[in-house]
């Protein structure tokens, strides 16, 4: 959670270097955006601000998803445009949150308040589920970024070895379970015809004040783009947990805003179940997510201690694994004092 836009000078420079590559040639928007994400440019909002300035200077033509840069963008023009955009961004005082922040708010407004606003001390277990989950995410990341560079079996083996080395003495998992899980992910990616895959790339929407790193972003052969979220737990007996869905919807909004195309599907990949859930999302889901985000903005402006979770069975569902539980309990203890 933060207020305002972080410095984007480097990202603006990277976009100019991409645009200056093929002068006088028509380029598809998807091609430019994929190159941007490869170079760790987090927001396509910058690209469209640059496009606007170039069109005003008659240096670009095109509309929709095809564009053409008519002549090389020289240093003087680059600096003019960069200065103008940076000055505009400096005035932005919007609250930026992550999809996980919104999820935590849904689970328990007080938890988010203690973690992100009060910055209360967080207590993590020294060994166990938290670190098991960290290992699974790290092994998945290593597998995705190296997929295609060698034989799949070697990539999986190396990813698991590195992950277990990083988290040794903190985990309770067996290597075989993680190896099987990565093989399942590989089969799933093939079955869904993903042509391009990214792992933990930061995306940002200046327009809606959202920033985050989807575990996996996949681009299919038909051009559809989806966000995939890896979960350490399992699919519940009653189906997908609402908090898991909310986070995935937020990540889908980030993908949608970056690639400027509607995203109607996302995936949840469960380690403990070794199963994948396909979820169809609609405008109602997206509006609900944005409504929760606006509630966080209201929370930030108040001086009141927010309420605890109101979810069914919240003590087990939320409190049990909460890292700021001690601070929350302290608040409740002081409230019981009678003077």
Secondary structure of the chain in HEC code, one letter for each residue: CEECCCCCHHHHHHHHHHHCCCCCCEEEHHHHHHHHHHCCCCCCHHHHHHHHHHHHCCCEEEECCEEEECCCCCHHHHHHHHHHHHHHHHCCCCEEECHHHHHHHHHCHHHHHHHHHHCCCCCCCCCCHHHHHHHHHHHHHHHHHHCCCCCHHHHHHHHHHHHHHHCCCCCCCCHHHHHHHHHHHHHHHHHCCEEEEEECCCEEECCCCEEECCCEEEEECCCCEEEEEEECCCCECCECCHHHHHHHHHHHHHHHHHHCCCCCEEEEEECCCCEEEEEECCHHHHHHHHHHHHHHHHHHHCCCCCCCCCCCCHHHHCHHHCCCHHHHHHHHHHHCCCC
Yes or no: say if 199 and 230 are a contact pair by the CB < 8 Å rule: no
What is the predicted pLDDT for the residue at 338?
A: 73
- Report whether 14 contacts 41 (CB < 8 A): yes
* Domains of the chain, earliest start first: 2-93 (1.10.10), 96-125+193-293 (3.90.320.10)
Q: Comparing C-alpha atoms, which of 274, 279, 281, 264 is closest to residue 187?
A: 274
pLDDT score of 336: 86
Give residues with Cβ within 8 angstroms of 309, minimum separation 6.
Answer: 107, 108, 109, 110, 111, 317, 318, 319
pLDDT mean for each 10 residues of the chain (339 residues): 95 98 95 98 98 96 91 97 97 96 97 94 86 97 96 98 97 97 97 96 97 98 95 87 96 98 97 94 97 96 91 90 93 85
Supply the pTM of this predicted model. Answer: 0.94
CB 228 within 8 A of CB 215: yes
Per-residue pLDDT, 133: 96
């Amino acid at each position: 959670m933060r207020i305002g836009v972080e410095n984007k000078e480097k990202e603006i420079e990277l976009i100019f270097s991409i645009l200056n590559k093929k002068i006088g040639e028509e380029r598809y928007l998807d091609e430019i955006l994929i190159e941007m994400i490869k170079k760790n440019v987090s927001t396509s909002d910058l690209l469209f601000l640059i496009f606007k300035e170039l069109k005003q200077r008659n240096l670009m033509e095109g509309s929709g998803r095809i564009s053409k840069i008519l002549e090389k963008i020289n240093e003087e023009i680059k600096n003019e445009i960069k200065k103008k955009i940076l000055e505009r961004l400096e005035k932005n005082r919007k609250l930026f949150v992550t999809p996980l922040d919104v999820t935590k708010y849904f689970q328990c407004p007080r938890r988010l308040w203690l973690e992100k606003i009060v910055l209360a001390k967080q207590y993590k277990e020294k060994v166990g589920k938290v670190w098991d989950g960290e290992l699974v995410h790290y092994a998945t990341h290593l597998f995705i970024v190296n997929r295609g560079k060698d034989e799949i079996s070697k990539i999986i083996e190396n990813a698991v070895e590195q992950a277990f080395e990083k988290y040794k003495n903190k985990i309770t998992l067996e290597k075989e379970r993680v190896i099987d899980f990565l093989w399942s992910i590989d089969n799933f990616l093939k079955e869904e015809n993903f042509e391009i895959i990214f792992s933990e790339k930061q995306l940002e929407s200046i327009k809606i004040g959202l920033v985050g790193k989807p575990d996996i972003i996949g681009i299919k052969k038909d051009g559809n783009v989806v966000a995939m979220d890896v979960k350490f737990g399992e699919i519940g007996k009653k189906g997908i947990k609402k908090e898991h869905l909310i986070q995935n919807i937020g990540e889908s909004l980030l993908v949608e805003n970056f690639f400027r195309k509607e995203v109607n599907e996302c995936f949840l990949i469960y380690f403990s179940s070794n199963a994948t859930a396909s979820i169809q999302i609609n405008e109602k889901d997206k509006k609900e997510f944005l409504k929760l985000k606006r509630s966080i903005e209201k929370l930030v402006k108040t001086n009141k201690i927010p309420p605890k979770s109101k979810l069914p069975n919240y003590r087990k569902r939320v409190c049990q694994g909460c890292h700021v539980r001690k601070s929350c309990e302290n608040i409740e203890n002081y409230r019981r004092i009678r003077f």
